[in-house]
Amino acid sequence: MNFLEERIQKDGIVKEGNVLKVDSFLNHQMDITLFEKMGEEFKRRFAGKKFDKILTIEASGIGIACIVARHFGVPVVFAKKTKSVNIDGEMYIAEVESFTHKCRNQVIVSKKFISEGEHILIIDDFLANGCALQGLISIVKEAGASVDGIGIAIEKGFQVGGRMIRNLGYHLESLAIVDAMDAETGSITFREQ
């Protein structure tokens, strides 16, 4: 097991309905030392790639993306889920609906912050059905930029998002892939990587 799998094993809590709670270190309370290790690991996995910018989505992607950005020396842009008074001017807006109809989201980025020809690394905390991720990818494409890497902390390998994204040819790296969870026993099975 790698450092993130160990941490999930130790502090993650499996709940009914395929819910994995990691709020004590990842997405409510955030362990910055752990995020630093994640940054180092993404740097290793995307070795040799040159990115211009990291793109993430509010709220829980932001902390990880900012620490990861230190390891690549690039700025971070975070997509918003609702149109706020603080975004004006031209915007990219992706309307994303999942095949399960369980999520329907707007993903919004100001056109100023993704430019044609840029090489983008997308970072997020979770990948399950891939709803938010699809919106981010569609915005990068619309901007004429390219998604050269996707870095995820925890992928739910038993849901469809990761497979679909890999089938489309994207370079997706998930630091931990959960293939099965059992709420009764609390056991978590990670995919060998």
List the one residue from 65, 107, 122, 178 that touches a second copy (CB under 8 A): 65
List the one residue from 6, 23, 95, 97 that touches a second copy (CB under 8 A): 23
CB of 66 to a second copy, least distance (A): 4
- In the bound state with a second copy, the residue whose beta carbon lies nearer, of 112 and 166, is 112
- CA dist 124 and 63 (Å) reads 9
List the one residue from 16, 48, 86, 117 that touches a second copy (CB under 8 A): 86
Pick left, alpha or beta for residue 70 (phi over 0 → left; psi -120 to 50 → alpha; otherwise beta): alpha
List the one residue from 37, 40, 63, 173 that touches a second copy (CB under 8 A): 63
Distances (CA, A) of 15 to 19, 30, 184: 5, 20, 8
Q: Residues touching a second copy: how many (CB under 8 A)?
A: 35
Stretch that binds a second copy, among 77-85, 93-101, 141-149, 152-160 (CB under 8 A): 77-85
Our finding on whether 186 is near a second copy (CB under 8 A) is no
Stretch that binds a second copy, among 41-49, 97-105, 110-118, 136-144 (CB under 8 A): 110-118
List the one residue from 3, 113, 158, 170 that touches a second copy (CB under 8 A): 113
Our finding on whether 78 is near a second copy (CB under 8 A) is yes
Distances (CA, A) of 61 to 90, 124, 127, 132, 179: 23, 5, 11, 11, 22
Instruction: Give the three-state DSSP class for 111.
Output: helix
- CA dist 80 and 56 (Å) reads 9
Cα dihedral 117, 87, 64, 39, rounded to 10, equals 30
